[in-house]
Amino acid sequence: MTRHLSLTIALVLLLVAAVAGCGETQPREASAPADRLGLDAEVALGRALAPAVEEALGGRLGDLAVQAYVRTIGQTVGRSTPQPDLPYRFVVLDDGVPRGYALPGGVVFITRGLLERLGSEAQLAAALGRQLAHINAGHVKAALMEKVDLAALRRVAAAGEVPPGKPPPKEDVARLVEAVRASAYSAEAEREADALALDYLAAAGYNPNHMAACLRQVSADEDRIRRVTDIAERKYAERRGRVAEDEYAREVLDRLRGP
């Protein structure tokens, strides 16, 4: 009798433990390791740093229609990335030097100078897609961490939290802005970004064969252009997709050239 009672109590306790365990439908998100930034911190870092980068690199282009057009294309490509729910932001800088920049967490800058060199919406999507690829592949964060210590990144990220923390030290912001301005990726990172951007373009409905034309506008070397062309022809030989030269001329080039 005593043995049966003990077995019954043990079974009841096991059943209670199992039911309690079933109540935890969502495992807790693991915090980022001490030597890394978590995704939330990356988003906060980009949010906090964006105004200073924008100011340092020419300021925002005043044409709201061009800004809206670029933002729309960027969001379309962004939805085709592995992280479609990142709060992507796309800003045109009023700078004549043809460049693109990216910040951790989804902020992308493209200059007026680069827009003036491009010839179609597909080429614009390629330029934005490459910056999105650098973000999604972790190249942007890695490049900043090579030049600025993790503690400084976290101090600036704290200012971009919601609600925001205290303003970061000006010297931290200045170092990060300079790191973004001088940002350069390794040849391996550029190859990876090119390949990823081709996939993003195709998934977003654009003609991936126009990536090569985009690279020519930023003076990429011929070996790199040839490699991108080969990948596009091999993976997407039958894929045509959107090009939209006339729309780009009307929405961007005509407006930048003025009356």
Considering the domain boundaries, does residue 16 fall inside one? no
pLDDT value of position 120? 97
pLDDT value of position 184? 86
Considering the domain boundaries, does residue 41 fall inside one? yes
pLDDT value of position 245? 95
Considering the domain boundaries, does residue 5 fall inside one? no
Q: Does the model's pTM come out above 0.95?
A: no
Domain that holds residue 109: 34-257
Considering the domain boundaries, does residue 14 fall inside one? no
Considering the domain boundaries, does residue 61 fall inside one? yes
Considering the domain boundaries, does residue 26 fall inside one? no
Considering the domain boundaries, does residue 238 fall inside one? yes
The domain tally of the chain equals 1
pLDDT value of position 18? 41
- Which of these, 243, 133, 251, 106, lies nearest to 188 by C-alpha position? 133
pLDDT value of position 183? 84
pLDDT means per 10 residues, the chain with 259 residues, are 47 41 36 67 94 95 98 98 97 96 97 97 98 97 92 91 81 93 91 96 95 88 93 87 95 92
Q: What is the 3-state secondary structure (H, E, C) of the chain?
A: CHHHHHHHHHHHHHHHHHHHHHCCCCCCCCCCCCCCCCHHHHHHHHHHHHHHHHHHCCCECCCHHHHHHHHHHHHHHHCCCCCCCCCCEEEEECCCCCCEEEECCCEEEEEHHHHHHCCCHHHHHHHHHHHHHHHHCCHHHHHHHHHCCHHHHHHHHHHCCCCCCCCCCHHHHHHHHHHHHCCCCCHHHHHHHHHHHHHHHHHHCECHHHHHHHHHHCCCCHHHHHHHHHHHHHHCCCCCCECCHHHHHHHHHHHHHCC
Considering the domain boundaries, does residue 242 fall inside one? yes
pLDDT value of position 35? 53
Please provide residue 91's backbone torsions phi and psi, each rounded to the nearest 5 degrees: -130, 135
pLDDT value of position 239? 77
